[in-house]
Structure 1
Amino acid sequence: MQKEKDNWYASWFNTPYYHILYKDRNHREAALFMNQLTEFLNLKPADSILDLACGKGRHAKYLYKQGFDVTGVDLSRESIQHAKQYEKPGLHFEVHDMCLPYPKKFDAVFNLFTSFGYFENEVDNLRTIKSIKAELNPNGCGVIDFLNVELAIKNLVASEKKKVGDILFHIEKYLEDGYIVKKIRFSDKGEDYLFTERVKALTLTDFQEYFEEAAIELKHTFGDYHLNKFDKKSSERLILIFN
């Protein structure tokens, strides 16, 4: 059995299996969200965007095609190595820890697809919020696209199986110590694997407390990628826009 590293995201995101399991993500939905978001924020061609925790650059590449100057950063060296093949003037990728301010300012900072709340140390969540603030131009906006934890917990599927190609993933989900935990077990080429995803079950109130401590103003909250109003009982997402 392959053992996990101390930080689950440092091991899981760096494996090809993470991208195999999630290969069916909805690219059309992602493009729609980017269009809606950039229009709502009134971003103009050549405006600068930081894609924070960009993975292999799915959103960053689309934003570049829409005319923006995009920098994508991620802790995963393997993901950034993959993304760098797409680099060109106006599209740049770099390994970076989002707890620390990136040494440049942007018109917008996007943290997308529940790429927040991974940390074991609570202070790192606040450090990330403060770093986003430090990365924004005076009139820039930060965006965090998080899951609506109240609905996610209500609809939690305790156990399921998902076959992708020749790999059968066994997935368990549960709530533990304020985190939504997903255990992922599978075998490939005669070796057994176990990986864990842990996302802190942060509510809108939790984010508001972070923002207050970081002297950030929450401007808007939305509940889906069409930018409909947030409802904690029914919204799939919690999308926060702030500066």
Structure 2
Amino acid sequence: MTNSTKQWYASWFDTPFYHILYKDRDYAEAQVFMDNLTSYLNIPEGGKILDLACGKGRHSIYLNRLGYNVTGIDLSEQSIKHASQFENDTLRFDVHDMTKPYPDTFDAVFNLFTSFGYFEDDTCNLKTITSIKEELNAYGFGVIDFMNVNYIIDNLVTEDVKTIDGIDFHQKRSVKNGYIVKDIKFEIDGENFEFQERVKALSLDDFILLFEKAGVHLLDIFGDYKLGQYHPKTSQRLIMIFK
């Protein structure tokens, strides 16, 4: 089966295979990042956080355990269905398109783990940042945690095979037409599957231009989850704080 939808993320993220491929993500590192970020932003106890493109809710759940009132939104109905089992009075999940403002305001809006730049239409990137601006209260901060494209391109592993739960995921990576592309192929019970991930290769300069157009101000930049200094060539992450 070949999946060739324009909105690759809308179908790929809704499959169980996506979650199998990425099941080994570093939860401890993610928690350290959330500890550092919420401390740096000095979010008030019980403060409201919007987790934009929350997936199955791993960041949302941990942030809620830290004492925050958290809303996680994602386009994937399957991911939200899974996350909803963890809901409580101060943790909720909703299916929502992040290019459109969510009908509430928050002390912080987090867009984490390179959950940006998926769109074929570049205007959707600007719409997302404009929506974040509308979702922030008077004291709120926006956070985009993106890959550092300079580092990624310089260290691109063009091809590998990742075996998880008995599935051999054949992965090929390339840079095409301003996107970092990953082609994923695997076989299950004699049936062939093909998916593709495409993320816009946005640089810091690209984001600065988007921020200017959206009327938000870039306040700080970090290069890793310990909030270390950003280095254009060697940092693995591009973490931007704005309002």
Aligned partner of residue 110 in structure 1, secondary structure: strand
Cα shift at 1:3: 2.4
Partner of 1:52: 52
Partner of 1:191: 191
Partner of 2:5: 5
Structure 1 residue 159 corresponds to structure 2 residue 177: no
The two structures, once aligned, show a CA RMSD in angstroms of: 0.6
Aligned partner of residue 130 in structure 1, secondary structure: helix
Partner Cα distance (1:100, 1:7) in 2: 16
TM-score by length of 1: 0.99
Aligned partner of residue 78 in structure 1, secondary structure: helix
Partner Cα distance (1:89, 1:46) in 2: 12
Matches within 5 A, 1:87-166: 87-166=87-166
Q: Which amino acid aligns with 1:192?
A: N
Per-residue Cα deviation, 1:10-69 (whole angstroms, up to 9, x for no partner): 110000000000000000000000000000000122100000000000000000000000
Q: Which amino acid aligns with 2:146?
A: F
Partner of 2:179: 179
Cα shift at 1:106: 0.3
Partner of 1:26: 26
Partner Cα distance (1:211, 1:28) in 2: 31
TM-score by length of 2: 0.99
Cα shift at 1:139: 1.0
Partner Cα distance (1:4, 1:169) in 2: 18
Partner Cα distance (2:16, 2:2) in 1: 14
How many residues get paired? 243
Once the two structures are aligned, what percentage of the paired residues are identical?
Answer: 56
Cα shift at 1:87: 0.6
Structure 1 residue 220 corresponds to structure 2 residue 220: yes
Q: Which amino acid aligns with 1:172?
A: K
Instruction: Tell me if structure 2 keeps the 8 A contact 1:220–1:240.
Output: yes
Cα shift at 1:5: 2.0
Partner Cα distance (2:150, 2:162) in 1: 24
Partner of 1:63: 63
Partner Cα distance (2:189, 2:142) in 1: 43
Aligned partner of residue 117 in structure 1, secondary structure: coil
Partner Cα distance (1:46, 1:56) in 2: 22
Instruction: Tell me if structure 2 keeps the 8 A contact 1:4–1:11.
Output: no
Partner of 1:202: 202
Instruction: Tell me if structure 1 keeps the 8 A contact 2:6–2:120.
Output: no
